[in-house]
Amino acid sequence: MNGWHSAHGWTLIELLVSLALLALLTAVALPGYQSLIQTQSANRLRDDLFAHLTLARTQARTLGLPVAVCTTTDLFVANPNNLQCASAGGDWTPGWFVFVDLNEDKQHQDGEPLISVYEDAPLNVSVRFNLNRAVLFDRQGRASGSNGSFFVCRLDIEFLSAVVISPTGRIRFDAAKPENCVG
């Protein structure tokens, strides 16, 4: 060894330049990252709706009993067995629940078991249903009535998606238009 020691580390100028570059990269990436988070939360809501509808159809076929999905405005009741379906209206943003509808009236009564409850909608995402009623799957998993479409929308980031239920009970994703999202 020649007696010289080399210093390992960064100088103050190198550190300041590195921090400036990090700040610049963060400023450039942050808006894109926020948009990604917003899109993912809207995707999650759409996927959760799809999963709950699929669960309702599967349970109807498995149990051999009619199963309904409806929206409500009182998801935070003390006793979940007291949940009531909202009256006519297409806004499902507050949440929904799945239950065995023994008398097939699309209303939840005492003695009709709850299967699932959804109450975690992200901010600024709306869910609209084009029919003013609950969705009822019969014992064979068919949906009563005509085609129903749920529109999951977040207009500020142009997230427009639909979950469509056919009379046969088939559930699928589709595109939505901005006019589907207001109402």
**For residue range 153-171, what is the model confidence (pLDDT) as tens digits?**
987 888 889 999 999 999 9
Quote the tokens at residue 118.
């959804």
Residue 128 near residue 91 (C-beta atoms within 8 A):
yes
Residue recorded with tokens 């009709």: 112
Distance CA 81, CA 65 (A): 18
pLDDT of residue 88: 60
CA atoms within 13 A on the CB side of 19: 7
Distance CA 182, CA 10 (A): 56
Quote the tokens at residue 101.
């509808």
CA distances from 95 to 4, 52, 58, 121, 156 (A): 71, 11, 20, 7, 21
- Name the pTM for this structure: 0.81
Tell me which of 3.20.20.70, 3.55.40.10, 3.40.50.300, 3.40.1110.10 is the CATH number of domain 14-181.
3.55.40.10
pLDDT of residue 77: 65
pLDDT of residue 124: 86
159, β-bridge pairs: 154
Distance of CA 88 to the CA centre of its chain: 21
pLDDT of residue 9: 76
CB-neighbour burial class of residue 143 (10 A; exposed 0-12, middle 13-18, buried 19+): buried
Query: What tens-digit pLDDT sequence spans the chain (183 residues)?
Result: 555 666 677 788 888 888 888 888 877 777 767 778 888 888 999 999 999 999 999 999 999 999 999 998 777 666 777 788 887 668 898 889 999 999 999 999 988 999 999 987 788 888 999 987 899 999 999 997 778 999 999 878 888 899 999 999 999 999 988 888 876
User: Would you say how long the chain is, in residues?
Assistant: 183
Q: How many other CB atoms sit within 10 Å of the CB of residue 87? A: 10
pLDDT of residue 34: 75
pLDDT of residue 162: 94
Closest CA relative to residue 93, chosen from 157, 150, 35, 171: 150
